[in-house]
Amino acid sequence: MTHATTRIIRDEHAALSAMLRSILLLLDVHRRQQSTPDFSALRAMLFYVDQFPEQRHHRHETELLFPKLRARTPLSRELLDHLDRDHALGERNIREVEHALLVYEMLGEAHREPFERAIARYTDFYLAHMAQEEKEILPLAERVLTEEDWRDLDAAFGAHRDPFTGHEPDDTYRALYTRIVNAVPAPIGLGPALDTGTPQRHAMQA
């Protein structure tokens, strides 16, 4: 049996992966076309990353899921400590990425490459982080947590309502969701298709 929390975590991981890869894809297309990206769309996408994965998803992993695992088994405690450090580092890293984007927007083309390096590092960092959770932590949780544990987790994670995992956006985030959907091509949004040319290392993956 796969519990609701496990499915939600995997869905939210997929949404974050798609969002980050979409940013990289957009930047790659604009670089090759020697054009300026849509800064407002990039700001909206990074704000989504900060508001949903960073502030909700990771917080509930650190404050609820990981303590329950530590209480049930000594297995993977070092990995859990490592993942907790990742969560703390991720919050600092997203601020650095947002600042690098602001510098690029305000000071011009000379600052494109530092921003692209910052978002590429952040993407690599979190793809590796999420892969560890899905490969090691979620299977362990399915083995050792009790049904009472899962009831608590399902209630917390079920309240996330991330609009990029199929939920109707609430009024607070409706404008943000609409902004991203209208600016970004599939699979994230409904924006115009991009001339991607030769696939790049960070090309979109389903």
Instruction: Give Cβ neighbours of residue 67 (< 8 Å, ≥ 6 apart).
Output: none
pTM score of the predicted model: 0.86
Q: What is the pLDDT of residue 149?
A: 97
Could you read off the pLDDT of 150-194 as tens digits, one per residue?
999 999 999 888 888 888 888 888 888 888 888 776 666 666 665
Q: Which domains does the chain have, with CATH numbers?
A: 4-161+168-183 (1.20.120.520)
Cβ atoms within 10 Å of 40's Cβ, excluding its own:
11
Task: Give residue-wise pLDDT tens across range 88-124.
Answer: 998 899 999 999 999 999 999 999 999 999 999 999 9
Vertex 25 angle, CA 117 and 109, to 5°: 50
